[in-house]
A = this chain, B = another copy of it.
């Protein structure tokens, strides 16, 4: 923005048309509006028409700033990645820091409902994805991990985080669709699974039938961290 926009025009000049103020429409505005809709209405609610409506314009106008819906989703995704906070790297504490990064990343993806659904679909080459990759990769390298292992580790941990967040977003979507609250939905979902398991013939599914309680015991957070720790422990065993 120029610095002159707050200076009133000289009175002897005819007042210009009511100053555009509405003819802005930039990529940033579109991405922001898209994220707002994604948070409020989910991925199913995010259409180009809906974004245009949010900006008081027609859908065709968006295509001057964004190639297509897929690109818009990638832009939104990288914007969300920008919210991820990274501690100063301390290679001596690589296990803790890797764990913290994963949980932080998972938290951010989860806090924006359906963004994870777009995450898996996009190849992460945005500036924020790179910033995060450099952080995690550097952390492992500086901790002494072989570059090849560090490379694979970054890739696999990212896949795991995104996959879990994606699965979570599907539940969130179902929850929204049914209109239930988070608690209600969760109870009803687990209840369905439980009764389904209990109705199974014990002779054909002996192990499942015997351990139904264990199968439905843990919630999403415990599951996520369990799998994460599996991977981190595996990595620690490979550390020279």
**A163:B152 contact, CB within 8 angstroms:** no
Name the segment of A24-32, A51-59, A202-210 touching the other chain.
A202-210
> A223 is contacted by which of B142, B147, B155, B162 (Cβ under 8 Å)?
B155
Name the segment of A9-17, A72-80, A211-219 touching the other chain.
A211-219
**A227:B231 contact, CB within 8 angstroms:** yes
A237 at the binding interface (Cβ < 8 Å): yes
Name the segment of A34-42, A94-102, A164-172 touching the other chain.
A164-172
Name the segment of A60-68, A104-112, A129-137, A179-187 touching the other chain.
A129-137
CB contact list, A87-146 vs B, under 8 A: 120-121, 123, 125, 130, 133-134, 137-138, 141-142
**B214:A148 contact, CB within 8 angstroms:** yes
Set of chain B residues within 8 Å of A232, measured between Cβ atoms: 234
- Which residue in chain B gives the minimum CB-CB distance to A204? B134
- Which residue in chain B gives the minimum CB-CB distance to A218? B152
C-alpha gap A208/B229 in the complex (Å): 25
**A227:B130 contact, CB within 8 angstroms:** no
A contacts with B, residue count (CB < 8 A): 52
**A159:B164 contact, CB within 8 angstroms:** yes
> A235 is contacted by which of B170, B223, B230 (Cβ under 8 Å)?
B230
**Which A positions have Cβ atoms within 8 angstroms of B?**
120-121, 123, 125, 130, 133-134, 137-138, 141-142, 147-148, 150-153, 155-156, 159-160, 162-164, 166-167, 170, 193, 196, 200, 204-208, 211, 214-215, 217-218, 222-223, 226-227, 229-235, 237
26 A–B contacts, CB within 8 A, in A order: A120-B163, A120-B167, A120-B170, A123-B193, A125-B193, A125-B196, A130-B200, A130-B205, A130-B208, A133-B208, A134-B208, A137-B207, A137-B208, A147-B211, A147-B214, A150-B211, A156-B223, A156-B226, A156-B230, A163-B166, A166-B166, A227-B231, A229-B234, A231-B231, A231-B234, A233-B237
